[in-house]
Amino acid sequence: MVIEVEPGMTEDTSLALRDNFIPALRNAISLWANATTDAASSRREDLLRDKRRAIEGFFTHAGKHPAEVTPVDVRAWQASLAERGLQPATIYWHVSRLSSFFSWAMQAPGLREEIGENPVRLARPKSPKAYQTASARSLDDEQLAALVGVIKQRADAGDVIGKRDYALLLFFAITGMRRQEVIVLRGSDLELKPDRLLVRAKVKGGDYQAREVREPLVREALLDYLKSAGREAALKHGGPLWTRHDRCGPPGAPLTSHAFALNLKRYADQAGIGKIHLHQLRHTFARIVAEESGSLHETQEALGHKNLQTTRIYVQRIAVRRDKHGSRIARRLGVRRMDSE
């Protein structure tokens, strides 16, 4: 799935609580986030930040000590998130994390004596159905072309960030790989052949799989980016494939999927697409494969799904049904088109 950050929330969010409790609450939130986040995750820093912001956001809204929170406070927070325009799946994520925090607090020394029950239990919304959110929508061909055009224009102008993002976009759109499969790639994961790339990536579930990428555009864009950034050695020495090129981070620091997703939103605005989620690139890939192949089994293989039913649901949610029969039915109606009279 794809998570939205609440507008205006920062690490220094001032919690509307009793002044002497603020440091302790912040410390508790940090302890909970660290305890419930996989230490080996390549997205650990992003996850820690998002978790802290979500819980701080709740207490800013409620203005209460954890022991004073009720299901009514949780429902009011949900309503405020919806008013801000957050999608049901994102709201569900926020509420789930809040529930996790209270479950952890009920076992934590210093808090368990005060918190008798989890207030989220009676206020938790139903889990959204799979592939029913905005992030599950596929871009149509015109939208995809417009997005590619905006980023390619920046790349063609010689901008190294534009070249990186253009290569990244092609990787996502043409391979259908998941966000973390692409963003954590290192030079040692790629093998350049005269007519293709071989990519060895850690896929969902922890297995490693090799993928062939024959489209020359991907290879050309990647090599152009690495050459422009002076990073061609990454293919030999195994450094991160995608790095930052701004003043906000150390030179050569690995790019995060969060940072690329923010850039993608800006490109989408310029392309006239509006809101976009990074995972939509994988859904767009799935749509095109399903339309071109007409085969669920081929689409399943392309997406790397272990279960065909997952692919079936996936395609049904994002596909636009083609009109295969309208013309034949119209002929039987015996109604002539106005321009044929």
Say if residues 82 and 90 touch (Cβ distance below 8 Å): no
With bands split at pLDDT 50, 70 and 90, how would you rate the model's confidence at 129?
low
Alpha helices in 63-130 (DSSP H): 71-83, 88-105
Instruction: Kindly tell me the sign of the dihedral angle through the C-alpha atoms of 250, 253, 256, 260.
Output: positive
Looking at the DSSP assignment, which residues form a beta bridge with residue 91?
none
Task: Please give the structure tokens belonging to residue 123.
Answer: 């206020």
Q: Over 90: is that where the pLDDT of 4 sits?
A: no
Domains of the chain by residue range: 19-128, 136-318
pTM of structure? 0.64
| Reported CATH class of domain 19-128 | mainly alpha
Residue 104's alpha-carbon distances to 63, 81, 98, in angstroms, are: 20, 23, 10
3-state DSSP assignment of residue 240:
strand
Q: Which two tokens stand for residue 90?
A: 């994102």
Assess whether pLDDT exceeds 70 at residue 321: no
Mean pLDDT of the 186-192 span: 91
Predicted confidence at residue 54, as pLDDT, reads 93
The pLDDT value recorded for residue 6 is 42
pLDDT of residue 236: 86
Nearest alpha-carbon partner for 179 in 223, 220, 219, 135: 135
Length of the chain: 341
- The third-level CATH classification (topology) of the domain covering 136-318 is hpI Integrase; Chain A (1.10.443)
Average pLDDT over residues 79-87: 89
Of the candidates 76, 28, 75, 82, which has an alpha carbon nearest to the alpha carbon of residue 55? 28
**CA 201 to CA 275: how far, in whole Å?**
29
